[in-house]
Amino acid sequence: MRIALFLAGCLGVFSLLPNAASADDDDAQPNIIAAQQPRPNTDPNILRLDQAGQKLAGIQTQTLIAAQQTPEFIAYGTVLNPEPLLNIRQQYLAASAQQDSAQARYSEAAQNLNRTRDLHQQDIVSTRRLQEQQAIWRADKANLASNNYQQQLIAANSRLVWGATLSNWFTKAQDKNATQLLEHRAQLLIITLPANSQLDPTVSVIHIHERGQRQAAKPAALIAAAPQVDPLSQGQRYFFKCEECRLPFGAHVTAWIPEGGQTSSGVNIPQSALVWHLGQAFAFVKADTNQFSRRLLRQYSTNNQGYFVAGGLQPGEEIVITGAQTLLSQQLKGSIPDEDKD
């Protein structure tokens, strides 16, 4: 009986040995498989592309140069028709001509009065003749004063609407600025600033464009502040003169106005260098011969060269200006798992 129990126990032990070995094999197998798996790319913003691929994608680069830019804010305005100023000019010049005529008659009357007074003292002419000459002199003097008042009234009304500078331009017989506007060699603009804001005293030139394109904006020179604020927004308005503009009267324009103060340092990049992904702006920098790095741009603004970037890019770096969208597409395609590509 004891021998039978001993043999049964030995058989139970030997029957368990294969299962234990199998368990050891199962535990070791996943570790081997895991060791054979390739490591994933740790930086999704890096893209490698050989020379043949770059040529096929049409990649072109540009070395960045240091630049500075004054902060700007946006305002809106209108191209003005100078016809009201032309009417003021005609009225003033007509009054001026009448003034010259009245001045000539008054001078002649004054000379005649002095001569008649001398003759009267010598008893050559009668007192009645002297009184008649005095009456003529008084009438011519009153006419001269009336014409002078008319000129002043026209100029005063013009200053109430157009300010002193424009009024002076258009109330002179010859003024090159008024001639430019009347001959359409320049255009008059009125720009309305946002409420509770003013033009910095150091600002003399702004940039404007009729379709809101900063890179195509044209310069406009400050003339003077307008006497009246905007009736709706209560924003201060300013007159500007644009010599490069050829826009229809009444056209609305967007204006970029320097804020003044400290300038920002950065780089200028063309519009084609900027790419968008998930609502964020990026640019590709060529890190070495076959490697490109995607940079997130947080501080950028439009200008006449494309964009001014205040951070994220450094002078001397090589930026992709043609083919950046192709690089982005290739990079995003490479981040898709293989099972999702099918």
pTM for the full predicted model: 0.65
Predicted local distance difference test score (pLDDT) of residue 214: 86
How many Cα atoms are found within 13 Å in the side-chain-facing hemisphere of 308? 18
How many Cα atoms are found within 13 Å in the side-chain-facing hemisphere of 295? 22
- Greater model confidence, 99 or 241: 241
- Greater model confidence, 120 or 234: 234
- Boundary residue ending a domain (225, 258, 291): 258
Residue 331 lies inside a defined structural domain of this protein: yes
Predicted local distance difference test score (pLDDT) of residue 335: 64
Does one domain contain both 291 and 234? no
Mean pLDDT of the chain: 84
Does one domain contain both 196 and 251? yes
Q: DSSP for 303-334?
A: ETTEEEE-SS--TT-EEEEESHHHHHHHHHHH
Q: How far is CA 226 from CA 163, 211, 230, 292, 303, in A?
A: 6, 24, 10, 52, 27
Number of domains within the chain: 3
Does one domain contain both 209 and 285? no
255 has pLDDT over 90: yes
Contact 59, 243 (CB under 8 A): no
Contact 151, 167 (CB under 8 A): no
- Boundary residue ending a domain (159, 179, 199): 179
Does one domain contain both 207 and 272? no
Contact 160, 44 (CB under 8 A): no
Q: Which domain holds residue 268?
A: 46-69+264-336
User: Token digits for 318?
Assistant: 């090589």
**Mean pLDDT for the stretch of residues 99-108:** 87
**Mean pLDDT for the stretch of residues 260-282:** 88
Residue 119 lies inside a defined structural domain of this protein: yes
Predicted local distance difference test score (pLDDT) of residue 143: 84
CATH of the domain at 221: 2.40.30.170
**Mean pLDDT for the stretch of residues 310-332:** 91
Does one domain contain both 204 and 172? no
- Greater model confidence, 192 or 132: 192
SS3 call for 253:
strand
User: Token digits for 165?
Assistant: 């500078």
Predicted local distance difference test score (pLDDT) of residue 21: 40
SS3 call for 246:
coil
| Cα 156 from chain centre | 35
- C-beta atoms surrounding 96 within 10 Å: 18
Predicted local distance difference test score (pLDDT) of residue 116: 85
Residue 342 lies inside a defined structural domain of this protein: no
Does one domain contain both 206 and 272? no
Q: How far is CA 124 from CA 60, 145, 189, in A?
A: 103, 32, 67
With 0-12 / 13-18 / 19 or more C-beta atoms within 10 angstroms meaning exposed / middle / buried, residue 167 is: buried
**Mean pLDDT for the stretch of residues 140-150:** 85
Each residue of 25-49: pLDDT tens digit? Answer: 444 434 433 333 334 445 677 888 8
With 0-12 / 13-18 / 19 or more C-beta atoms within 10 angstroms meaning exposed / middle / buried, residue 24 is: exposed
- Boundary residue ending a domain (160, 179, 198): 179
Residue 111 lies inside a defined structural domain of this protein: yes
Residue 12 lies inside a defined structural domain of this protein: no
